[in-house]
Amino acid sequence: MTAALAIQDYAILDDSDCEARILAAKEQLGERLIVLGHHYQRDEVFRHADITGDSLKLSREASQSKAEYIVFCGVHFMAEVADILSRPEQIAILPDLAAGCSMADMADLPKVEQCWQELQSVLDVESKVTPITYINSAADLKAFCGRHGGIVCTSSNAGQILDWAFAQREKVLFFPDQHLGRNTGVQMRIPLEEMVVWEPGKPLGGLTREQIKNAKMILWHGFCSVHQMFRPEHIDQFLERYPETKVISHPECRYEVCQKSHYLGSTETILKTVRQAESGSRWLVGTELNLVNRLRQEMNPKGVEVHFMSPMVCMCSTMFRTDPQHLAWVLENLAQGNVVNQIKVPQDDARYAKLALDRMLALA
C-alpha cells in the first residue's frame, strides 16, 4: 500500500485521459472489483459500469458477486444499501461523497421522529400506523422503519408493500416522496381526501387532529427535484402535435402528470415497456434525461420515436457529481491498495435497516 492519491491531481485530467486510466485500473483489479451504474448516471461514467439498473437491483447483484470492492456510480443512499446488503468482507465505495439525493434529504431522522411523537399525541402510532420509507432515503430512516414494524418500498413494488402495510395496521406514514405514495394510493382506489400531506416544521404537520384520524395515508412533504419538473401541460402540448403518442411516466411525477399518462412505472418498467414497443410508435417519457437520451438512441434504429417530456433540461444534478475524474481516482487508489470514500453504515442502523429491507424482499 502506498499513500493515497489525491483527488486534486485528477481534477485537471480530461475525460479521455480518465477513460484510459479507468480501463487500466479495472483490468488490474479484475474480479476483485464491480462497478455499478445507475440509469440516471452520465454517459461518460455509465459506460464503465459492469452492471446497470436501478438502485436495489444493483445492490443485490453486487452482493452476490465475487467482488471485494463495490464502486457505486450513483448517490449516497444507494451506496448505503449496497453496504447493508453486501457480505461482511465486501467494501462499498461512492466515488464522490457529495453525490446525494435532494428527495432523501427532505426527510431526516430527527424530523421523522418528531412526526412520530406528534402523531402519538393523536393516536396510538405503534398499533395504528405502519411506517414505509421509499428506498430513496437514508439508512437511519430505513432503520427507523425496521424498529417500528415498518418496511421499505421501491417504485415498482409500492402497491404490494402498501397491501402488506394495511394488513398490519390501518394507517401508513409514507416518506419521503409524496408523489409515489399518492399515485400508488390512487391506483389502489384510496380516495385523495384520505391521503394527507405532513409538512415537517408545522404543528401536527399542518394537519388537524380530525384529518389525521380520518387519513389512511399520511404522506411526507417530499419530492424528486427532477420528476417535479414535469407538468401536465407538457403532455397536452405534445399530444396536440402528435396525438398518437403513448405517454409513460415515473410514479415520482406529480399526480396530474400521472393521470394524463398511459403507463406508469419504475425506470426498469419504462425501459422494458418502450423496448417492447412496435416500430412506428412514438413515446413521450417522463423521467431523467440521461436515461431518456440513451433509450432514444437505442430505439431510433428500430423505428421507435422516444421524446423527453419537458422542454427544460431535467437531469439529476447530484448524480451528475460522479464524473470520470472521481471514478479514475477511486479505481487507481484501489489498484494501489488504498480504499477511499468507503460507505459504512453504523452496525445498529444496518441491522434494523436490513430488517426493513428483508421484510420487503420476503414479499418478492
Q: Is residue 266 part of a domain?
A: yes
Q: Is residue 82 part of a domain?
A: yes
The answer to whether residues 247 and 216 belong to one domain is: no
Number of folded domains that form the chain: 3
Q: Is residue 111 part of a domain?
A: yes
Predicted local distance difference test score (pLDDT) of residue 4? 82
pTM over 0.85: yes
Express each pLDDT in 245-271 by its tens digit: 999 999 999 999 999 999 999 999 999
The answer to whether residues 244 and 266 belong to one domain is: yes
Express each pLDDT in 299-358 by its tens digit: 999 999 999 998 876 667 777 789 999 999 999 999 999 999 999 999 999 999 999 999
- The 3-state secondary structure of the chain reads CCCCCCCHHHHCCCHHHHHHHHHHHHHHHHHHEEEEEECCCCHHHHCCCCEEECHHHHHHHHHCCCCCEEEEECCHHHHHHHHHHCCCCCEEECCCCCCCCHHHHCCCHHHHHHHHHHHHCCCCHHHHEEEEEECCCCHHHHHHHHHCCCEEECCCCHHHHHHHHHHHCCEEEEECCHHHHHHHHHHCCCCHHHEEEECCCCHHHHCCHHHHHHCCEEEECCCCCCHHHCCHHHHHHHHHHCCCCEEEECCCCCHHHHHCCCEECCHHHHHHHHHCCCCCCEEEEECCHHHHHHHHHHHHHHCCEEEECCCCCCCCCCHHHCCHHHHHHHHHHHHCCCCCCECCCCHHHHHHHHHHHHHHHHHC
pLDDT at 2 over 80: no
Q: Is residue 242 part of a domain?
A: yes
Q: Is residue 355 part of a domain?
A: no
The answer to whether residues 93 and 110 belong to one domain is: no
Q: Is residue 173 part of a domain?
A: yes
The answer to whether residues 221 and 231 belong to one domain is: no
Domain span at residue 231 reads 227-308
pLDDT at 182 over 80: yes
Band of pLDDT at residue 173, cut at 50, 70 and 90 = very high
The answer to whether residues 17 and 35 belong to one domain is: yes
The answer to whether residues 150 and 248 belong to one domain is: no
Express each pLDDT in 220-247 by its tens digit: 999 998 899 999 999 999 999 999 999 9
Predicted local distance difference test score (pLDDT) of residue 280? 97
pLDDT, averaged across the chain: 95
The answer to whether residues 258 and 327 belong to one domain is: no
Q: Is residue 361 part of a domain?
A: no
